Structures are given as structure tokens and as C-alpha cells.
Chains A and B, each alone.
Chain A
Amino acid sequence: MTSEAATIGLTHSGSEDTGLGHRGPESKSIVVPYGFWLFVLSDMVLFSALFATYASLAHATDGGPISNQLFDRNLVAVETIALLLSSFVCGLAMIAAKRANMLWTQGWLFVTGLLGFVFLSIELYEFAKMIGEGAGPQRSAFLSSFFTLVGCHGAHVTCGLLWIGTMMAQIWAKGFRDDIVRRLLCLSIFWHALDIIWVAIFTIVYLIGTLA
């Protein structure tokens, strides 16, 4: 097989994988996270459509409030730091989980969820304040697209929080079984991806939207 693979030239050095299926499928610990990675990328494609909508409608304010009057950069800075730290701590949880350390895995996952909750609380406070001021999603096309884009990210974070809680319970009850660890890895991919999307949101919506 090896000489044939070398002739075809599809192989990496030291690998017997010809890319033609001689070795059979990869193990589940590779295939499952890879499939989830494809889902996360398709989720980013979904967000790209929402970003395009927002960018097209950002100036369609219909005489209502404009982004400069609505957004508070200090709040956004706190949100950004909370989500970034949350993503970092999630990484630490993965390091502990790989070594099957129950105490540290649970502890770091709890901190991850806590920071995510801080982020979500600030976001909901901002939404409630805007709606209270009459700048709800029905006020203008700009605000509709804003609530759709940022709200969709917030909904993802909410799902992530539920998922973190579920994973903590599963690790507690079932230990570091292979299938549990795979789910945990998928969760960490999801959580890091949410932070990547937030980078785009705070730059395009909050920073560029409030330039003088």
C-alpha cells in the first residue's frame, strides 16, 4: 500500500493515508468534532447573512434613534471582556478534562458559565433599556436588523449556557467516558466560535456604529 500511495502522491510524510479510503474512516474522537466544526462554520455563514442585512439597513433609521445615541461603549467593553475570559476559561476546562480531573473541570466549567451569564445579563439589560426608551425592534429597519443580529448571538449564548450545565451534570454522573469527552469538545468549539462572532459584532455594530 505504501509504495502505491507514494506513487499517487496524496499522502503526508510518515502517513499511510492515501486519501482514497484504504485506511477506513477516522476514529469517532476525530469524526465527531470535525462534523461539529462543519456545523459551526455553517452557523457562521448564517451570521454572515445577518451581518449583511445589518450593514445594508444600518442607516435606515426612519427618523428614529441612530446607533450613536443608543450604544454605550463602556457596557460593550465589559461584555467583551466577560466573553473573552469565558472563552479562555473554557480552554482551561478542556485541559483539565483531558486529564480527567473532576474538580478542576467542574470548577472551570462553572466559571465559564458564570462569565457567560454576566455577558448575557448585560446584553438583556441593554435590550430592556432600549425597548423602554421606545427603540424596540419595531421602531425602524435598523433596529429590527440590530435585534435580529445581536439577539441571535444572545440566543446562541443562552443555548451554550444550558449546554454547559448539561455537560457539568453528565461529567458528574457518568465520568470522563469517551462519548462524554467528545460532547465536551464540541461544546468548547461552540463556545470559542461564539466569541469569534462577538468580535465581529462589537467591531461592526458597536465600534464602527458609534464613530464620531
Chain B
Amino acid sequence: MSENRPDASNVAPGQPHDSMFSETLSYVLGLGLALVLTGISFWVASTSALWGPGVAVGLVVLAIAQMGVHLVFFLHINTAPDNTNNVLALAFGVLIVALVIAGSLWIMDHLNQNMMPMHQMMQMQR
């Protein structure tokens, strides 16, 4: 396994690669941060103390932060040189995901705006 190869230039994603204490600490830290972020998400969604229209954006930001926590503390994706290939693959994945989601929403929003209202279409079909 990789712990026997300290000079390795690559490391597998998800592979714990330190002493037992620091490995456990990483998972415990990740769990704590994820629990806090989840708690804030549920609080933000149910409170009326915040400005309504901003809540959805805040929730998305919290979700992205929590995904980051999972990537760093559970999947051990970080900025170390032996992790470069994993990070590059992730970056490409994020690019495609962003293109698919943003592109679909953009196109479907325009389609909705340009669509004839349903009752007009029914009248034309008569």
C-alpha cells in the first residue's frame, strides 16, 4: 500500500495515509464540520429571521461548503503534489456538472418564457 512508498508521486482518493491518530482526527473533524453545516442549513431553511429571497442562495452556498468538507476530510482530496491527478479529474467533473446544470436551467427558462400559454394553445387547436 502507499504508506510504504513515501516518495510516491500519486495517492489514491479516499486512501487514509498518515498515523492512526491523524487519520481518525481527519474523519472526526469532517464529521463535526458536516454536522454543523447541516444544522445551519436546516436552521436557515426554517427560521424567519433572515431575508426571504436570500435563503435559497445561502442554502446552496452551505451545500457547496459541505461538499467541500466531504471531499477534503472523507475523500482526502487536497493540494498536496501527490494529489494533483485527483484534483484535476475533480476539476473537470465540476466543469461538466456546472455546464450541464447552468446550461439546462438557462435554456429551459428561455423556453418557458417563449412558450405560448396553455389556454391559447388549446384555442388554436379547436
Give the interface of A toward B (CB within 8 A): 12-15, 17, 26-27, 29-30, 32-34, 37-38, 41-42, 44-45, 48-49, 51-53, 55-56, 73, 77, 80-81, 84-85, 87-88, 91-92, 94-95, 98-99, 178, 181, 185, 188-189, 192-193, 195-196, 199-200, 202-204, 207-208, 210-212
Contact = CB atoms under 8 A, between A and B. Distances in A.
Interface in B74-102: 74-75, 81-82, 84-86, 89-90, 92-93, 96-97, 100-101
A34 B93 contact: no
Contacts of B63: 199-200, 203-204
A152 to B, nearest CB: 15
B122 to A, nearest CB: 15
B89 A37 contact: yes
A29 B82 CA distance: 14
Contacts of A44: 93, 97
A48 B101 contact: yes
A60 to B, nearest CB: 10
Nearest to A15: B9
A65 B97 CA distance: 29
B67 A211 contact: no
Interface string B1-28: 1110101111111111000100110111
The 10 lowest CB-CB distance pairs between A and B, nearest first, are A52-B104, A41-B93, A33-B12, A203-B63, A91-B27, A48-B97, A56-B108, A207-B45, A189-B14, A12-B81
Contacts of B3: 98
Contacts of A193: 75
Contacts, number: 154
Contacts of A196: 67, 70-71
B59 A208 contact: yes
22 contacts: A12-B9, A12-B82, A15-B9, A29-B2, A30-B8, A34-B13, A41-B90, A44-B93, A49-B100, A51-B101, A55-B101, A81-B38, A84-B31, A84-B38, A94-B15, A98-B3, A189-B13, A195-B70, A200-B67, A204-B63, A208-B56, A212-B48
B86 to A, nearest CB: 6
Interface residues on B, range: 35 or more
Interface of B: 1-3, 5, 7-16, 20, 23-24, 26-28, 30-31, 34-35, 38, 41-42, 45-46, 48, 52, 55-56, 59-60, 62-63, 66-67, 70-71, 74-75, 81-82, 84-86, 89-90, 92-93, 96-97, 100-101, 103-105, 108
Given A44-B93, A91-B27, A30 B7 contact: no
A204 B57 CA distance: 10
B16 A95 contact: yes
A192 B26 CA distance: 14
Given A14-B7, A77-B42, A200-B63, A95 B70 contact: no
B113 to A, nearest CB: 13
